[in-house]
Structure 1
Amino acid sequence: MKVLIRTDASIAIGSGHIARCLTLAQALRKHGAEVVFACRQLKGHLLQRVIEHGFVAHGLPASYPQESGADIEASLPWQSDIDALTDVLGDELRFDWLIVDHYGLDAQWETAARRFAERLMAIDDLANRPHAADLLLDQNFSAQAVEHAYAAWVGADCQTLLGPRFALMREAFECQPIEIRPKVTRVVVNFGGFDAARQVFATLLALQCFTELEVDFVAGLHNPDWDTMSALAAARPQWRLHTLVDDFCGLLLQADLFIGAGGGTTWERAALGLPTVCISVANNQRLNAQLLAQAGAHLYLGAYEQLDCQRLTEAVALLCGNRELRQSFAQRSRALVDGKGAMRVVAALMTPVLALRPATARDADLLFEGRNAEHVRCWSFNREPIDRGIHQRWLDQSLSSANRLLLIAETVQGPLGVLRYDRQEERVEVSIYLMAGQLGLGWGRALLQSGERYVREHWPDVRIIEAQAMADNAVSITLFQKAGYVQAECYFQRVINDE
């Protein structure tokens, strides 16, 4: 699968778009995808960081004709951007997916960009402009909290992935939460990759009275207050000033409290259960930060423009002395995020292109272990472990039957799951299971859609696919319903050919 990502970073825009797209690109690469970036060469563009992660990165012009404003994420001249993409891509014009993460591009650009890709995905946070996408991701809590947030902005056929369940986070954050200790001893301060709002310095001033705290200030690149902060930090051995941190997750795991913005690190903090004082530094962060505060996930002090030093000092003092409040923040934030969002997005992207292969005799061990896995047997009509000899005879019969398809889905990471189709004239019955470690990521839906394509190709006269599920198997019932199956008496079925 070939994927093109169109996004930008700059001192004014920040690094958040690049950071989350890099996380998604790395997850896609793990499953065999080839990912290419295209970014404007604005001041602070981070193209080199993309290249250092092993991806091809095309540089686009820093400015276009008819463009108004300076280095901001205003609406771009969409035709100029399309023309620039055409110039830099050259012969590499067709991709399976184009992913756009840019507030200055909308449905006009997306419609024109279909010349580059079969399918298009938009990453958004704002719900303020039309999209012409096949798939839309908004990982913010506000996207699921506000009913029908994108109803006016996407077409009826656009699949939406909304909420922190799909938060794009690195694998490092799939770990145990931090311990909520009786006292706060260590604090991390970070306001993004560039800190254009100068909030690291403002926080440094607010923390001067906490002489007992160890504090890691992650100031970001090109911070305008670096020299002043360095002088202040030099007088305090318990303060450490960083531009960037190679192991940000490791740093957070050592902390008791975080002070920062309402951007992409929101979900990293939540996954670790790290109590947070949140200050929004951009308009697009405010609603999400407010709703998370209402849900009890963090302490929100509002927008940085209205915040004074004394109020931040009081908030830190409150949390330092209140373990119960920090514990409550940790529990409620952890309930929102499990760290597997990037893999759920990968599954959604791979659904239209996921290939299946027929099982062979060489798959005997794989199928035996898969069928006997506890998570498979507990929802099977026969819950007893299958005998090796019985399994081998069943496999031999399955491989020789003209009325059975036994299919395996896999990527370069290994097998994902197994489908079995049993045919009786114009109807087939489907059975499905996923391999251990693949549950809850969306692969079930991907397998069913790929299997349906396979059935259409190999048995074009089949009209109906049926499926059975135990009455208390809510996961399977929901899976079939979302895949378009309609309950018919005590079984599910899907009509795939009305002729």
Structure 2
Amino acid sequence: MRVLIRADASLAIGSGHVVRCLTLANALRDQGAVVSFASRELPGNALARIADAGFAVLVLPASYPGDRAGNIESLIDWQADLAALQTQLAGQPPFDWLLVDHYGLDAQWQRSARAFAQRIAVIDDLANRPHDADLLIDQNLTATADAYAPLIPASCQTLLGPRYALLRPEFRVPAPTIRAKADRVVVNFGGVDAGGETFKAMEALAGLPIHADIVAGSANPAWDALQAKAQGQANWTLHRHVADFAALMQQADVFIGAGGTTSWERAALGVPTLCIAVADNQEPNAQALHAAGIHQYLGRDRHVTASQLGKAISDLLADAPRRQSYADKSRALVDAKGTQRVAAAMLHACLTLRPATLDDAQRLFDGRNAENVRRWSINSEPISWDAHIDWLTRTLANPDRQLWIAESANGPVGVLRYDRNADLPDRAEVSIYLFAGREGVGWGGALLQAGDAAIARLWPALRAIDATVLPDNTASLKLFVQAGYREHNGHFERVLPQ
């Protein structure tokens, strides 16, 4: 699978778009996809960061003739951007996916960009403009289907809420220990911090008997001034770059930061947080997380003083029960599997089904005998090799049984079997399982959707599909309900559209 990601970073925009796209790009690459970026050469860009991560990057111009004054992201000349991208892509075949993470590009750009890709995916946070997309991701707590309904095609798949937060694997960690005696604070307002909130945090921390790790960010233009501000503060450590930010965050009793993508990192780790919004688009989500008891939202940057922040730091450090509550509720909201879910959704569209053969005997034998598969099978006993070969040989010769292996870009995902009812040839029963390591990110739904569509084409007289699920198998019960099956006493039925 080939993927192109269109995202920018700059002193004005910040680095959040590129950072979360790099996280997704790494997950896609791990699944066998080939990922490239297209990004503008703006002041404070992330072109070197993208290249250092091992991704090809198409460099787009820093300015276009039609750019308007103001926020360069939202006032971009989209037609010039599209033309520049077209020049860079000359002679290349279409991508499987073009993913766009950019507030200045909407349905006009996306519609024309379909010339470069079979499918369009969009990452959004605002729900303020139309999209011509096949997949839309909004990881915010405030994201709703109703808000996006008038802005996207009816066929567009939506992945909404913190369940789809784009986090790196290092944020999947055990629950934190909330210390009664708390004295460690981490400060970070992104890679740029154009508004200088780090200085405000320093003023708030001055004189407090605590250790502070202050992460300024590699693109922060005020590094020299920050160093001068930290001079003489023996309990402060000023970082320009942190190799393992998640590990540093885990050490914090309290985190002080903005309301952007780091919100989900903090939540996944269960780090009690004091949040200050540094942009208008951060406010709704920061307020919603405060209302849900996930963190303490202090307000928009221009309204929060160093004195107010200092008092909030002291109060939260002294309140272990409140910090424990923030940690528990945060981790219940964000499980750090969102990146895998988004990657799986993109891979789903490229999922293929192929008939099983005798060459698959070992894979099917290992898959069927896996403990997690046997536990939920009607016959939970291990199958012998001889019995398995006999069954597979008969299966492949049976015109009323279809056995498929589902594959993604990086290999087999799972198995589907359909058995046509000999007495009622307009009905069939489905059985499904995933191979080890494929659980938990949505592959089951993709397999079932692809399989049901394929079997309806193969057996056009089919009118309904049945399934049997053990009552304690909650994952499969949920799977079939979400796929449109109706349940009655452990038996599921899906009536196919005519």
Q: Given the two structures, how large is their TM-score scaled by the length of structure 1? A: 0.93
**How far did residue 456 of structure 1 move?**
5.5
Please give the alpha-carbon distance, in whole angstroms, between the structure 1 residues aligned to 2:248 and 2:166: 19
One-letter code aligned to 2:61: P
1:399 partner SS = helix
State the partner residue of 1:257: 254
One of 176, 200, 213 as aligned partner of 2:174: 176
5 Å-filtered alignment, 1:304-453, equals 304-411=301-408, 413-424=410-421, 425-452=425-452
In the alignment, does 2:153 pair up with 1:161? Answer: no
Please give the alpha-carbon distance, in whole angstroms, between the structure 2 residues aligned to 1:224 and 1:85: 29
**1:243-280 deviation line (CA, Å, top 9, x unaligned):** 22121112112222211001111111111111111111
2:187 partner SS = strand
Please give the alpha-carbon distance, in whole angstroms, between the structure 1 residues aligned to 2:70 and 2:376: 58
**1:173-213 deviation line (CA, Å, top 9, x unaligned):** 11213221122232211001101111111101110111x32
**How far did residue 464 of structure 1 move?**
4.3
One-letter code aligned to 1:455: I
2:118 partner SS = strand
**1:73-93 deviation line (CA, Å, top 9, x unaligned):** 223222222111111111125
Q: Given the two structures, how large is their TM-score scaled by the length of structure 2? A: 0.93
Please give the alpha-carbon distance, in whole angstroms, between the structure 2 residues aligned to 1:439 and 1:61: 42
Please give the alpha-carbon distance, in whole angstroms, between the structure 2 residues aligned to 1:27 and 1:244: 23
Please give the alpha-carbon distance, in whole angstroms, between the structure 2 residues aligned to 1:155 and 1:486: 27
State the partner residue of 2:193: 195
Task: Decide which moves more: 127-136 or 383-392.
Answer: 383-392
State the partner residue of 1:185: 183
**1:12-36 deviation line (CA, Å, top 9, x unaligned):** 1000000000111111111111111
State the partner residue of 1:112: 112
Please give the alpha-carbon distance, in whole angstroms, between the structure 1 residues aligned to 2:174 and 2:213: 21
State the partner residue of 1:130: 130
State the partner residue of 2:269: 272
State the partner residue of 2:26: 26
Please give the alpha-carbon distance, in whole angstroms, between the structure 2 residues aligned to 1:335 and 1:222: 33
In the alignment, does 2:10 pair up with 1:10? Answer: yes
Contact 2:485/2:492 (CA < 8 Å) preserved in 1?
Answer: no
One of 297, 301, 306 as aligned partner of 1:300: 297
Contact 1:410/1:416 (CA < 8 Å) preserved in 2?
Answer: yes
**How far did residue 458 of structure 1 move?**
4.8
State the partner residue of 1:491: 492
**How far did residue 474 of structure 1 move?**
4.4
Contact 2:356/2:404 (CA < 8 Å) preserved in 1?
Answer: yes
**How far did residue 357 of structure 1 move?**
3.1
**How far did residue 71 of structure 1 move?**
5.2
Contact 1:10/1:71 (CA < 8 Å) preserved in 2?
Answer: no
State the partner residue of 2:480: 480
1:103 partner SS = coil
Task: Decide which moves more: 439-448 or 225-234.
Answer: 225-234
One-letter code aligned to 2:27: A
Contact 2:69/2:75 (CA < 8 Å) preserved in 1?
Answer: no
Task: Decide which moves more: 287-296 or 434-443.
Answer: 434-443
Contact 2:123/2:136 (CA < 8 Å) preserved in 1?
Answer: yes
**1:451-471 deviation line (CA, Å, top 9, x unaligned):** 245435655565544333345
Contact 2:33/2:409 (CA < 8 Å) preserved in 1?
Answer: no
Structure 1 residues 495 and 412: CA distance shift in structure 2, 3 A: closer
State the partner residue of 2:243: 246
2:413 partner SS = strand
2:146 partner SS = coil
5 Å-filtered alignment, 1:202-217, equals 202-210=200-208, 212-217=209-214
What RMSD, in angstroms, separates the aligned Cα atoms of the two structures?
2.2
Please give the alpha-carbon distance, in whole angstroms, between the structure 1 residues aligned to 2:170 and 2:112: 37
Please give the alpha-carbon distance, in whole angstroms, between the structure 1 residues aligned to 2:71 and 2:494: 54
Please give the alpha-carbon distance, in whole angstroms, between the structure 2 residues aligned to 1:324 and 1:239: 26
Please give the alpha-carbon distance, in whole angstroms, between the structure 2 residues aligned to 1:91 and 1:2: 15
In the alignment, does 2:47 pair up with 1:47? Answer: yes
**1:329-353 deviation line (CA, Å, top 9, x unaligned):** 0000000111110110111111121
Task: Decide which moves more: 129-138 or 151-160.
Answer: 151-160
| Equivalent pairs, count | 494
What fraction of aligned residue pairs are identical, expressed as a percent?
53
**How far did residue 106 of structure 1 move?**
1.0
Task: Decide which moves more: 376-385 or 125-134.
Answer: 376-385
Please give the alpha-carbon distance, in whole angstroms, between the structure 2 residues aligned to 1:225 and 1:3: 36
1:416 partner SS = strand
Please give the alpha-carbon distance, in whole angstroms, between the structure 2 residues aligned to 1:224 and 1:3: 32
2:119 partner SS = strand
Please give the alpha-carbon distance, in whole angstroms, between the structure 2 residues aligned to 1:491 and 1:482: 12
Unaligned runs of 5+ in 1: none
Unaligned runs of 5+ in 2: none
Please give the alpha-carbon distance, in whole angstroms, between the structure 1 residues aligned to 2:466 and 2:58: 47
